[in-house]
């Protein structure tokens, strides 16, 4: 009988420490494969494989596309690429960003659940917002096991809180406790695989394909949800609302995907950027009008100078409420999920 031998782990802010504690408690004879996604900025070479190799007994690497899956190893998603699982091997693909990140947790979790079903153990660690919630929900839908870091133990509680609030979680533990727990769970037999309704199976298959760089428009993901009034912050395409239990999330026809909270944060950031663009334009108008007024004054044309100075004062007054709104943007940014 198959064992629970596929472990997918995701972390973001505060996650490096949590991952170190987790792998430090794994046994040297760990009879499973462990896959890690950790959010980081594009263009940065990940130091995580070296850090985790020092922290625990298992070999750690960033895989290449097509690498076979081996037991007793830790695989860390390479920067700016999704890591996905196929039957017996790993896919590395530069599909559309999800929840503002590539790699993202949800594509890894979904692909693992789609291919390996009840053999999968999904783990959500420290991080902001709610990446990983949808993927962990899918792991449970396929009969897998869901583990979440105890929020009080997490450096940033957002991702654990979101997962606990939306998924029927099997275990909540400290990061170190999860390492020991995994050492026990991977020796257990997997439950019988849960078959999906045809609509759920087709949607899951298409979302895995999109992460693998298939044409999202050809995958016709929009037929699995309802058109929303919102537009994609990445490409400005129309977003389709998709439902998973109590979870509502969004995907556009070019493939970008957003959880509710990720969409809210991206929209707020774009609004703040546009407000600062307006402030900058008005400030430049004030500077230009004042310079023109000074030039007219030097020439003795006091009427034209006064007109420029009046318009400069009016532009400055117009900029003040916009500046105040832009400055308020930081106060409205999300650190944790909205309920």
Please spell the DSSP secondary structure of 154-216, one letter per residue: SSS-HHHHHHHHHS--SEEE-HHHHHHHHHHHTTSBPPPPPPPPHHHHHHHHHHHHHHTT--H
Share above pLDDT 70 across residues of the chain, in percent, rounded to a whole number: 96
Instruction: Give per-residue pLDDT as tens, 120-179.
Output: 999 999 999 999 999 999 999 999 999 999 999 999 999 999 999 999 999 999 999 999
- Of how many residues is the chain composed? 339
pLDDT interval class at 329 (50, 70, 90) = low
- Over 70: is that where the pLDDT of 43 sits? no
φ/ψ bin of 303: left (φ > 0), alpha (ψ from -120 to 50), beta (otherwise): alpha
Q: How far is it, in rounded angstroms, from Cα 90 to Cα 98?
A: 19
Q: What is the mean pLDDT of the chain?
A: 93
pLDDT band at 330 (very low <50, low <70, confident <90, very high): low
Residue 249, SS3 per DSSP: strand
- Domain ranges for the chain: 6-185, 262-332
Catalytic residues: 12, 39, 131
* Mean pLDDT in residue range 74-97: 97
Query: Does the pLDDT of residue 338 top 80, yes or no?
Result: no
User: pTM of the predicted model, to two decimals?
Assistant: 0.88
pLDDT tens string 190-230: 998 888 999 999 999 999 999 999 988 888 888 999 999 99
User: For position 336, what pLDDT does the model report?
Assistant: 57
Percent of the chain scoring above 90 in pLDDT: 86
Alpha-helical segments (H) within 212-259: 216-219
| Beta-sheet strand order (sheet of 120-124) | 60-61, 73-76, 33-38, 6-11, 120-124, 145-149, 171-173
**pLDDT value at position 205?**
96
Q: 227-254, pLDDT tens digit by residue?
A: 999 999 999 999 999 999 999 999 999 9
The token pair that represents 154 in the structure block: 């997490």
Reply yes or no on whether the pLDDT at 93 is more than 50.
yes
The 8 Å CB, 24+ separation contacts for 307-314 are 312/285, 312/286
Tokens 């895989």 map to which residue? 63
* 332 pLDDT above the threshold of 60: no
Gap between the Cα atoms of 138 and 156, Å rounded: 23
**pLDDT score at 1:** 81
pLDDT of 45 strictly over 80: no
- pLDDT value for 331: 47
The reported pLDDT for the residue numbered 155 is: 96
How do residues 2-42 score in pLDDT, each as one tens digit?
999 999 999 999 999 999 999 999 999 999 999 999 998 77
**Does pLDDT of 313 surpass 70?**
yes
pLDDT of residue 216: 82
Q: What is the dihedral of CA 154, 85, 204, 1, to 10 degrees?
A: -90
Q: Which fold has domain 6-185?
A: Rossmann fold (3.40.50)
pLDDT of residue 41: 73
């Amino acid at each position: 009988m198959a064992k629970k031998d596929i472990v997918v782990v995701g972390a973001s802010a505060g996650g490096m420490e949590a991952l170190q504690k987790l792998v430090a408690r794994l046994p040297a004879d760990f009879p499973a494969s462990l896959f890690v996604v950790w959010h980081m900025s594009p263009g940065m070479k990940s130091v995580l494989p070296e850090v985790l190799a020092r922290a625990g007994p298992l070999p750690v690497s960033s895989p290449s596309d097509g690498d076979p899956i081996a037991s007793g190893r830790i695989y860390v998603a390479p920067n700016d690429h999704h890591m996905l699982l196929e039957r017996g091997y790993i896919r590395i693909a530069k599909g559309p960003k999800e929840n503002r990140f590539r790699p993202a947790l949800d594509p890894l979790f979904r692909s693992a659940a789609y291919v390996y079903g009840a053999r999968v153990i999904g783990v959500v660690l420290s991080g902001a917002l709610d990446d990983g919630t949808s993927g962990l929900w899918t792991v449970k839908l396929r009969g897998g096991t869901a583990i979440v870091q105890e929020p009080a133990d997490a450096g940033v509680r957002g991702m654990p809180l979101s997962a606990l609030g939306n998924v029927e979680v099997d275990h909540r533990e400290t990061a170190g406790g999860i390492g020991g727990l995994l050492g026990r769970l991977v020796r257990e037999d997997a439950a019988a695989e849960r078959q999906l309704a045809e609509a759920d199976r087709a949607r899951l298959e298409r979302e895995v394909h999109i992460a693998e760089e298939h044409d999202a428009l050809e995958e016709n993901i929009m037929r699995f949800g309802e058109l929303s009034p919102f537009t994609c912050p990445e490409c400005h395409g129309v977003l389709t609302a998709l439902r998973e239990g109590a979870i509502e999330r969004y995907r556009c026809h070019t493939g970008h995907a957003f959880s509710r909270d990720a969409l809210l944060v991206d929209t707020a950031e774009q609004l703040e950027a546009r407000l600062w663009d307006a402030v900058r334009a008005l400030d430049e108008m004030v500077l230009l009008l004042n310079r023109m007024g000074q030039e007219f004054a030097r020439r003795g044309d006091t009427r034209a100078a006064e007109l420029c100075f009046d318009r400069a004062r009016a532009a400055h007054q117009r900029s003040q409420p916009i500046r105040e709104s832009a400055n308020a943007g930081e106060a409205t940014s999300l650190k944790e999920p909205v309920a």
